[in-house]
Amino acid sequence: MLQSHHRLFHRTNLTTETGIALAAAVLCHVPTATNAALITQLVAVPVAWFGIATRCGLYRSHRTSTLLKEIELLGATVLGTIALVMLLGHVAWGSAAIDPAGWLLWGALPIVALRMAVRLTLRELRKRGRNFRRAIVVGGGAGADGVVSEARARRHLGIQVEGWVSFRGQRESISRADFRGSVDELQDVLASGTVDVVIVCPPPSVTTAEIAQVLELCRAAGIRCQIAPDFLRVANTRPDLEWYGAVPALSSVPTRSHTVQLAVKSALDMVGAAILLTLLAPVMACIAIAIKLDTRGPVFFRQSRVGRGGATFGCWKFRTMCIDAEAKRAELDGQNEQDGPVFKIKHDPRITRVGAFLRKYSLDELPQLFNVLRGEMSLVGPRPPIPAEVDNYEWWQRRRVSVRPGLTCIWQVQGRNQVSFQEWMEMDLEYLENWSLWLDFKILCGTAGTVLRGTGV
């Protein structure tokens, strides 16, 4: 019964939204277009809408999808339809018979508004115990407990767990009262006609053959089956389904749930770097003159650093050491005051007089604003390490090079050179775990205070 209602609902949705798109196209036709051109493109509107919407999965169930995901699919359908119809008009008739701007206004906006109204209505109905799906959970352990608790906590999803079925040899259970038997009895459970969806939560001990058996039983019964294995519950990753021809593959991707915020961060990096370079140009010119007057050698020091994904780039700084500093490094290895693969000495004899002042107030880092402008660095992020340091990282520490490095991070604000290498790495990973634009703002404000206090080395 639910499958029939589901198909009817989405067919109604498809018909209504296609009708709105077609009506908007008629309303927004170009007066100078010929009747033949207009009719051709009007016929193309429902055909293109149906084809693109089906390809994008717009009319699948979005019961558990986010609002952003549904809007993304709707946007792809709208823009794809406009593009195809406009292309057809220019290829076949030399011009478009439909005004795309008007179509967006009178077609896309009403469809988005209708979608939002339907979504809110359905969520409210589900909270009141209507429009729900009866689910059977196959499996046990933490994965099954998580599915059941989430379904019960998020009533707007409309998932009502009717019971659970265990794999062979399982002893754990969610609730004895809900036990419906083992997978050998799943066929009888599905035949009862009270199951709309089967959620498979296999523990590590379950074989793929047992999972395949459940999938085949659901396929034969025409019942939707979802798989939520424990191994996909990895922090800060999101599984995606990709296809190699006809072969599906689960892809575990680092979290991109902050897509919009990350786009804003990139824009702020570019704009912020451009503004700071403009404002600080006189200061940087004075620093360059001071370096030239203090010692012979170049004004800038370029060093290979590791950026996002392990890619190396040329990181720029004002030169703060003597010109043969790299050659003298080996002589000072025994005096290293920083644990781990990092080399730091509080009173490094290679540092020049001007260099000591620049380091004290972190002014030597200003040329890295050019790296930010080039997209190699960010204003806030883990400091870029040198390749030799990364080669000596423990495995868990390598995650800090999974994002763009920055001019400043938590380490610069909370302890700087007074913390151990282990604490430094943990601070960077803390930043990755809890990242937000607000956190970046707080770090930038904290960095300003740290720089003014002159705690650099």
Euclidean distance between CA atoms 354 and 292, whole angstroms = 10
Torsion on CA atoms 308, 311, 316, 321, rounded to nearest 10: 110
Residues 397-430 have pLDDT tens digits of: 888 888 899 999 887 777 666 677 788 888 888 8
- Split at pLDDT 50, 70, 90, the class of 273 is very high
User: Tens digit of pLDDT for each residue in 75-115?
Assistant: 888 888 888 888 888 888 888 888 888 888 888 889 888 88
Output the pLDDT for position 417: 60
Helices (H), 300-420: 325-328, 353-360, 368-373, 387-391, 410-413
Residue 337 predicted with pLDDT over 60 = no
CA–CA distance, 376 with 362 (Å, rounded to integer): 19
pLDDT (0 to 100) of residue 286: 94
Task: Name the band, by pLDDT with cuts 50, 70 and 90, for residue 1.
Answer: very low
The pLDDT of residue 340: 62
Q: What is the pLDDT of residue 410?
A: 86
> pLDDT-derived band of residue 300, with 50, 70 and 90 as boundaries?
very high
Q: Tell me: pLDDT of 444 over 60.
A: yes
User: Residues of CATH 3.40.50.720 domain(s) within the chain?
Assistant: 133-233
What does the pLDDT look like over 10-31, one tens digit per residue? 788 888 988 898 898 888 888 8
DSSP string, 1-24: -HHHHHHHHHHHHHHHHHHHHHHH
The pLDDT of residue 189 is 85
A 10 A CB-CB count for 257 gives: 11
Report the chain's terminal Cα–Cα distance, integer Å. Answer: 72
Note whether 104 and 28 are within 8 A (CB): no
Query: Among all chains, which residue has been given the structure tokens 């730091």?
Result: 344
- Per cent of the chain over pLDDT 90 is 13
Token pair of 231, please? Answer: 């191994």
Alpha-helix runs per DSSP H in 97-207: 100-103, 109-127, 141-153, 186-191
The pLDDT assigned to 250 comes to 78
Grade residue 7 by pLDDT with cuts at 50, 70 and 90: low
Distance from C-alpha of 144 to C-alpha of 51, rounded to nearest angstrom: 37
In total, the chain counts a number of residues equal to 457
pLDDT at 405 (0 to 100): 93
Q: Which residues contact 406 (CB under 8 A, 6 or more apart)?
A: 377, 378, 379, 380, 381, 382, 383
- pLDDT tens-digit map of 221-267: 888 888 888 777 665 566 777 778 778 787 776 655 566 677 788 88
* Among 3-17, 338-352, 369-383, the range of highest mean pLDDT: 369-383
- The residue written with tokens 């970046």 in the block is 440
pLDDT over threshold 60, residue 171: no
Tell me the C-alpha distance between 377 and 215, whole Å: 47
Q: Which CATH class is domain 133-233?
A: alpha beta
What's the pLDDT at 134?
Answer: 87
- The answer to whether the beta carbons of residues 380 and 411 sit under 8 Å apart is no
pLDDT, residue 367, reads 94
What percent of the chain is modeled with pLDDT above 70? Answer: 88
Higher pLDDT, 416 or 140: 140
Cα(173)–Cα(145) distance, integer angstroms: 9
Residue 165 forms beta bridges with which residues?
138
Rama region for 197: left / alpha / beta (φ>0; ψ in -120 to 50; rest): beta
Q: Are 25 and 42 in contact (CB under 8 A)?
A: yes
Residue 333: is its pLDDT beyond 70?
no
Closest to 52 (Cα-Cα) out of 70, 26, 73, 38 = 73
Burial of 348 (0-12, 13-18, 19+ CB in 10 A): buried
Question: What does the pLDDT read at residue 313?
Answer: 93
SS3 of 341, please? coil
| CA 230, chain centre distance (Å) | 21
Q: For residue 299, give the DSSP letter.
A: S
| pLDDT per residue as tens digits for the range 341-370 | 666 677 777 888 898 898 888 899 999 999
Give the pLDDT confidence score for residue 304 in this predicted structure.
Answer: 92
146 vs 185, 338, 387, 433, CA distance in Å?
Answer: 24, 43, 41, 21
What is the rounded average pLDDT for all residues in the chain?
82
Average pLDDT over residues 384-407: 87
Handedness of CA 403, 408, 414, 416 (dihedral sign): positive
Element (H, E) at 292: helix 259-294
